[in-house]
Amino acid sequence: MDRLEGRRREIVSVSFSLIQSLSVIVWLRWSFIQFDSLQNDSLILKRETMSGMNCFNATPGDTTWMLTATGLVLLMTPALAFFESGLLRAKNTLSIVVQIFTGVISLSLLWFLFGYSITYGNDQAGFIGGINHAFFIGVDYDDCSPHATKVPAAIFALFQMMFAVITPLLMTGAFAERMAFKAFFAFILLWEIFVYYPVAHWIWGGGFLDSW
């Protein structure tokens, strides 16, 4: 019975990994198609963003590397799940894998809704960003962010999303087997909103530490 249960967990874990890997491949392919459509007129993008920055020297090489790095960080999440499950008792393997993949989905959605905006949006008194980029409004493939003037703003937002997602998930190893799923889910969302977003804005988003 234990051997059968272990086999079932292995199948579920491998299935999760395959699904995420296929998702990364499809997403990367779609991103390349979107970027290629911007290269019809010129190999170098020189566009002005809503904030007045110029998208200079944005070559396909810069953008390709950012897409590759984004995909690699995304692939770190199933590796994190398998690493941490190897440190737990066998009966909790599926639990930690589900926690990691649930965190990826929920934190990605949170970043899309308002996370990117309050991290890299218009500065508000040096402590938090505005909501001008909520739902990725104004975050386009043919414009550049003032925080990354050599790659399209949408790709920069996706790249930063990967780190916003994996950072709280790295903490799961500290309280694995010690926290119920509901408590885990609430914790990572609250930590993301009240710790990661403000601190990231202070340092990289134009906050009061960015000018030091």
Give the distance from CA 130 to its chain's centroid.
19
Alpha carbon distance 73, 119 (integer Å): 19
**What's the mean pLDDT in 69-81?**
89
| pLDDT value of position 200 | 94
Q: What is the pLDDT of residues 37-60, one digit of tens each?
A: 544 443 343 333 334 445 666 678
% of the chain surpassing 90 pLDDT: 32
**What's the mean pLDDT in 22-46?**
49
Angular region, 138: left φ>0, alpha ψ -120 to 50, beta rest: left
How high is the mean pLDDT of the chain?
79
> Quick check: 64 pLDDT over 80?
yes
Question: Band of the pLDDT at 12, cuts 50, 70, 90?
Answer: low
> Quick check: 10 pLDDT over 50?
yes
Provide the whole-model pTM.
0.73
**What's the mean pLDDT in 153-178?**
90
| pLDDT value of position 63 | 85
| pLDDT value of position 119 | 94
How large is the angle between the packed helices 181-191 and 93-110, nearest 10 degrees?
A: 30
Least confident of 46-60, 109-123, 152-166, 167-181: 46-60
| pLDDT value of position 212 | 73
Are residues 103 and 165 in contact, defined by beta-carbon separation less than 8 angstroms? yes
Question: Band of the pLDDT at 202, cuts 50, 70, 90?
Answer: very high
